[in-house]
Chains A and B, each alone.
Chain A
Amino acid sequence: MTLPSSPLPPLPPERLRSACDPAVFDFDTTAEVGASATDLVLGQERAVAAIDFAVGMRLDGFNLFVLGPPGVGKHSVLERLLAAAPAPASPPDDWCYVNNFGDAQRPRALRLPRGRGALLRDDMNRLLEELQSTIPAAFDSDEYRARVEQVDHEYNELQQRAFEEVARAAGAQGIALLRTPAGFSFAPMREREVMGPEEFEKLPQDERERIGEAITRLQQDLEKVILRVAGWRRERFEKLKKLNEEVTMFAVGSRVDELARRHADLPEVVAYLDAVRKDVVQNAEIFHKQRPEQPFEGMAAGMSADLPPTRRYLVNLLVDEHDAAAPAPAPAAPVLREDNPTYANLVGRVEHMARFGALVTDFNLIRPGALHRANGGYLLLDVARVLGQPFAWEALKRALTTREIRIESLGQQYGLVSTVSLEPQPIPLSVKVVLFGDRQLYYLLHAYDPDFARLFKVAADFADDIGRDPARERRYGAMIAALARERGLMPFDRTGVAAVIDDAARTAGDAGKLSLDMRRVGDLVGEAEFWARRGNRTQVGAAEVAQAVAARVARADRIRERMAEQIARGVVLIDTAGATVGQVNGLAVYALGEFAFAQPTRITATTRLGDGQVIDIERESALGGAIHAKGVLILSGYLASRYSARRALSLSASLVFEQTYGTVEGDSASLAELCALLSSLADLPIRQSLAVTGSVNQKGKVQAIGAVNEKIEGFFDICAARGLDGSHGVLIPAANAAHLMLREDIVAAARAGRFAVWAVAHVDEAIEILTGTPAGRDDGGGAPDRGTVNQRVLAKLAEYHSLRHAPAGGRRAGAVRKRRNDERRR
């Protein structure tokens, strides 16, 4: 292991920020740039290729999952690409639901060429209107009445004659046929009056018997007549039915024939019209307008729970987006985005109407879902929303698997409602579903849902950022120009464009990258234009962009300001001057919404004789996360391997983040913790004007961390508030030096020698800068030089070891010796 022999110099100021050079652009303002919409798609070549593949692939299961962080323009890019996609070979069909005259509970689905659905619907509306007038008119005609009267007359005559014959036969025997309130009866007559009981009793026995027998025969005759009447009624009913069908057929036949000729190229429609004709003929009475003869009859008729029966002849056009009267639109595939993908909104639903306390429905109340509207095209869904809606994900998968849209009521499926509902005929489905979501959801679905990989075979993975070089900066500039043009903003001058690009690098957290968070870029462009407009500028420059960034920070800055105030007032103890043993300034990042900032945190370490345990107080108090705990355990490994490889580590140490009351996660403080431990063991004070960030491995090498810019800025602000004197600075991992995109004021302070940033690669470099004492070489098997940090650490550990493993008396003597040394040192 090679250790630095001299203190590491700080990074030169020019390495603290990689600003975009405005001279890289070949325009003065973005108004000169012939930017187009394609310029808005930047750095997403992989995703664009995946989308292009999915759009072109017609096989099943090649649905698309668009993944990537929010704001990278997943929706806009996809919609732009879909809009530019070639039109389908055949335009999407129209789908209608019509009555199933054989089983009204199972409405039939009719497929018609694009635009013909509306035509059929309008045709049927007109037919219905006509039938509602022509059929009643036909039945109200004198001809129809005459024929009904003719039939009625015939049967009235038959009946009357039959009864009269019985009455005549009775009269011939001195017997009268009488009407009682509930029927007929025969009675013996005398002088045109019914014979009374006394009079009848006076008749001779044989006469009474003759009358009785005669009445019995007459009753039998009458019974036969009554039975014949029932048969005549059936005959009459059939005759009238035939007459009604004849009349109705005359009224409806020619009109339906006309429609059948009009739709002759569609056999399904012709068959449907034939069914309509038959149904109208069989149910002509539903076309007769009711004319209530009494007020209460009218009210009763209106209170029926049934829907108007003529609705059965309507056509429910599920998706009506084509105006048949307008010129034929370009046959583009529909692109539908469903923002509320509930089960019903996806697969459709059957609505009900409340009619006098009853819920009733028919096929006209079938409502389309997003799958219906997108059929033949593309359906765009947010996967998190789909998964958040009960049954929606399963319904979507079922539809894609079966390739049909089946409308089923959840209430019916689960027995929650008992109203009569419908089972509409399923509609064939041909749709490309595009899901949008983050990467975590994509991988979770892949891992846990076996259907997912089968149904969503294409992933369009949107990049978070792109590499940075002058060529890409120019493309980025073109994208900013396109954004400004698309949104109707005033032009940006080249300094403004460069400032936006600098902010993109800062957002990427890497001086060598540019963020592709289009939402953030778009917002910044818009906000900068706002400030330029307010300042009566005609173009947006770097000052306006800086103002927009500052204003954005100021709007989100309340909590950072409060925390800084607590430090300034000494409520939160942070030293920025002096030196203390076992105490170092760590840096913690706080992410609140889209705003992230950092504040220094005091980390302290204590060491004592023990059995090799490094106690992480955060973990012990359940305030430390797993990664943080891992970092602390690495420290133990480092201490043991470097300083106590041949003997047991007789150390007990405690580490704590002072004045933190929430959880601590991450290992970016492990370098600071190690330095605090070494300081404690070596008994060397650490400069409090410095702060440290970085993680270490078991070999003592410093590893990269995140949010390096925010961390430096967080410590800089505290120091600047107390006054920079040239002693202040931050130690960062050398691997993070390439990420530096610090604020201009920090760069200026560094340039003036009032602030420094060190990029350290090994803990020895860090401890040397922090303590001002050489770390001490221990490579090659030799012991470090006397007085160096490592020599002091080794000595202290050797002391602990001898104390731990000495006999009892010797241990006491050692303890006394240690106490004396401590007192002397004080």
Chain B
Amino acid sequence: MSAAAEPARRGERIWVALDSASQSDRALEVAALLAHRERAELAGLFVEDVDLLRLAGLPLASEISPISAMLRPLGFAELERQLRSQAAGLERELARLARGAGLTWSFQVRRGKPLAEAMALPAADVMVIAGRRPAAPLPPAHGRVPRAARGAVIVLQDASPAAARTLALARELTVRLGATLEVVAAATEPAAGTRPAGPPREPPGRLARAAGAVLDAQARRADALLVLSARDPAAATRELLEDLLPALHCPLVLA
């Protein structure tokens, strides 16, 4: 099934889930690309992490700057201001992208656990979860080196019925981003790049562990894009993501 043959699904939303630790630019770009493809609304979700808000309420709360190593107190009000400012900036960027692509858009701010809030979004919608910013990002090696290929699109293949659709989406993203496609499968699955067939023969937990081990190595690449099927049993997906997300520097597409 090719993406071009797939009928447009008007009225759907493409969500992009962001929080204060997000590597947002690539996630927004991918979400805008998907929304344009689907002729869907580009919807932004910014989650104010309750863990941070709790931290800011503690008497010993303080913050170390990564650019000066200076320690400064972190108050609740100060944190709220930072979060609001961050959310406003992301909303502006999302709006700019949407207008550039002629898309309708919306932006929500919620308070909670980022992953939990993202997983609470409607299951039918495609979702892009931004990767984590690296603790100390390296500047570009050569400012003007043209990129021959823009990273890799990594798609996790399992034996689920949605795997084919996920693979098709990954292929289209590969073309649109000028990236390379990498297909990752559990050891018991057919060879990479081939269409899986039949029901899964591995229990979900084992799949998650097997895939996670591979993805863990790829996920540090900021120029990558990870595509997973959201149609997996929710518990398995969530377990996978909880392991994966803290070290994931690239956006994750749940389709």
Of the 9-residue stretches B102-110, B143-151, B186-194, B232-240, which lies at the interface with chain A?
A: B143-151
Task: Decide: B132 and A179 in contact? CB cutoff 8 A.
Answer: yes
Contact of B60 among A160, A196, A211, A227 (CB under 8 A): A211
In this complex, the interface size class of chain B, counting residues with CB under 8 Å from chain A, is: 35 or more
Task: Decide: A159 and B63 in contact? CB cutoff 8 A.
Answer: no
Closest partner residue, chain A, to B132 (CB atom): A179
**A contact residues, total (Cβ < 8 Å):** 47
Contact of A226 among B54, B66, B82 (CB under 8 A): B66
Contact of B65 among A136, A139, A183 (CB under 8 A): A183
- Given A195-B54, A200-B58, A223-B71, decide whether A179 and B134 contact each other with a Cβ distance below 8 A: no
Query: 1/0 per position for B69-106, CB-CB distance to A under 8 A?
Result: 10100100001001101100000000000000000000
Task: Decide: B20 and A180 in contact? CB cutoff 8 A.
Answer: yes
Task: Decide: A212 and B66 in contact? CB cutoff 8 A.
Answer: no
Task: Decide: A193 and B51 in contact? CB cutoff 8 A.
Answer: yes
**Chain B CB within 8 A of A290 CB:** yes
A residues in contact with B62, CB < 8 Å: 185, 219
Query: 1/0 per position for A175-187, CB-CB distance to B under 8 A?
Result: 0101111111101
Task: Decide: B55 and A184 in contact? CB cutoff 8 A.
Answer: no
- Given A196-B54, A290-B144, decide whether A187 and B61 contact each other with a Cβ distance below 8 A: yes
Task: Decide: B54 and A139 in contact? CB cutoff 8 A.
Answer: no
**Chain A CB within 8 A of B142 CB:** yes
Task: Decide: A181 and B144 in contact? CB cutoff 8 A.
Answer: no
**Chain A CB within 8 A of B138 CB:** yes
Task: Decide: A159 and B136 in contact? CB cutoff 8 A.
Answer: yes
Within residues 513 to 532 of chain A, which ones have a CB less than 8 A from any CB in chain B? none
- Given A136-B146, A197-B57, A200-B58, decide whether A151 and B141 contact each other with a Cβ distance below 8 A: yes
- Given A180-B82, A185-B61, A200-B58, decide whether A160 and B220 contact each other with a Cβ distance below 8 A: yes
Closest partner residue, chain A, to B148 (CB atom): A140
- Given A184-B63, A187-B55, decide whether A229 and B136 contact each other with a Cβ distance below 8 A: yes
Total CB contacts across the A-B interface at under 8 A: 123
Task: Decide: B57 and A196 in contact? CB cutoff 8 A.
Answer: yes
Task: Decide: B52 and A212 in contact? CB cutoff 8 A.
Answer: no
B residues in contact with A219, CB < 8 Å: 62, 64, 71
Task: Decide: A226 and B145 in contact? CB cutoff 8 A.
Answer: no
Docked CA distance A219–B143 (Å): 33
Contact of B83 among A181, A222, A244, A285 (CB under 8 A): A181
Contact of A160 among B74, B134, B141, B148 (CB under 8 A): B134
A residues in contact with B65, CB < 8 Å: 182-183
Contact of B69 among A187, A226, A289 (CB under 8 A): A226
Query: 1/0 per position for A193-207, CB-CB distance to B under 8 A?
Result: 111110010000000
Q: B1 to nearest A CB, angstroms?
A: 31
Task: Decide: A288 and B138 in contact? CB cutoff 8 A.
Answer: no
A residues in contact with B146, CB < 8 Å: 136, 140, 288-289, 291
Task: Decide: A222 and B64 in contact? CB cutoff 8 A.
Answer: yes
Q: B102 to nearest A CB, angstroms?
A: 15
B residues in contact with A285, CB < 8 Å: 142-144
Contact of B135 among A163, A185, A197, A233 (CB under 8 A): A163
Task: Decide: B51 and A187 in contact? CB cutoff 8 A.
Answer: yes
- Given A180-B52, A240-B142, decide whether A185 and B57 contact each other with a Cβ distance below 8 A: no
Docked CA distance A200–B54 (Å): 10
Task: Decide: B63 and A152 in contact? CB cutoff 8 A.
Answer: no
**Chain B CB within 8 A of A236 CB:** yes
Docked CA distance A291–B86 (Å): 29
B residues in contact with A215, CB < 8 Å: 60
**Chain B CB within 8 A of A101 CB:** no
**Chain A CB within 8 A of B139 CB:** yes
Q: B125 to nearest A CB, angstroms?
A: 27
Docked CA distance A242–B107 (Å): 46
Docked CA distance A185–B55 (Å): 8
**Chain B CB within 8 A of A156 CB:** yes
Task: Decide: B64 and A152 in contact? CB cutoff 8 A.
Answer: no
Task: Decide: B135 and A159 in contact? CB cutoff 8 A.
Answer: yes
B residues in contact with A139, CB < 8 Å: 142, 145
Task: Decide: A187 and B58 in contact? CB cutoff 8 A.
Answer: yes
Task: Decide: A179 and B142 in contact? CB cutoff 8 A.
Answer: no
B residues in contact with A236, CB < 8 Å: 138
Q: A715 to nearest B CB, angstroms?
A: 92
Q: A650 to nearest B CB, angstroms?
A: 108
Within residues 286 to 330 of chain A, which ones have a CB less than 8 A from any CB in chain B? 288-291
A residues in contact with B132, CB < 8 Å: 179
- Given A163-B135, A180-B52, A180-B74, decide whether A226 and B141 contact each other with a Cβ distance below 8 A: no
Closest partner residue, chain A, to B220 (CB atom): A156
Task: Decide: B21 and A179 in contact? CB cutoff 8 A.
Answer: yes
> What are 13 A-B interface contacts by the 8 Å CB criterion?
A139-B142, A159-B136, A160-B135, A179-B21, A181-B20, A182-B82, A184-B64, A185-B55, A194-B51, A195-B58, A197-B54, A222-B69, A289-B146
- For the complex of A and B, list the 6 residue pairs with the smallest distance between their C-beta atoms, beginning with the closest: A288-B144, A197-B57, A179-B21, A187-B55, A181-B82, A226-B69
Interface residues, chain B, with chain A CB atoms under 8 Å away = 20-21, 50-52, 54-55, 57-66, 69, 71, 74, 79, 82-83, 85-86, 132-136, 138-139, 141-146, 148, 220
